[in-house]
Amino acid sequence: MKTIIQTPDFKANKTLIDFVQDNVGKLEFFGNKIIEVRVCLKLDKSSERENKICEIRLVIPGNDLFASKQSQTFEDAVLKTIEAIRHQIDRWKDSKDRRFVKSPLQ
C-alpha cells in the first residue's frame, strides 16, 4: 500500500508525518485491496478554532473511498477521518460480499 501525504498550506513536522503514517498504515488490516492512500492536511482560513482539515482518499478497485473531517488539531482530524474511512471500508466489503452470494430464490 502506497501512502502519499500532502500539506499544501504549511510545512508539516516529522512527528505529524509519522503520526499520520502510523495511523493510516493500520487501514491495511481492514481492507487488503487498498492500492494507495492519499492524505491531504489543510488549514482553513477562517477565524474558527476548528480550522485543521484532514482529507483521506483510498484508491481501491472500483470506486475510491473519500472522507474529510475538521478539528482543532491535525491529530484529532486524522483520527476522525480514519474512523469514517473504516466505516466505509466495512460497508464496501459487505456490499462486495453480497454481490457474490446467490439468492435462495435462484
pLDDT for the residue numbered 21: 94
pLDDT for the residue numbered 20: 94
pLDDT for the residue numbered 50: 81
pLDDT for the residue numbered 105: 54
pLDDT for the residue numbered 49: 81
Domains parsed from the chain with CATH numbers: 2-86 (3.30.160.100)
pLDDT for the residue numbered 104: 55
Residues with pLDDT less than 50, the chain: none
pLDDT for the residue numbered 23: 93
Predicted TM-score (pTM) of the model is 0.84
Tell me, letter by letter, the H, E, C secondary structure of the chain.
CEEEEECCCCCCCHHHHHHHHHHHHHHHHCCCCCCEEEEEEEECCCCCCCCEEEEEEEECCCCCEEEEEEECCHHHHHHHHHHHHHHHHHHHHHHHHHHHCCCCCC
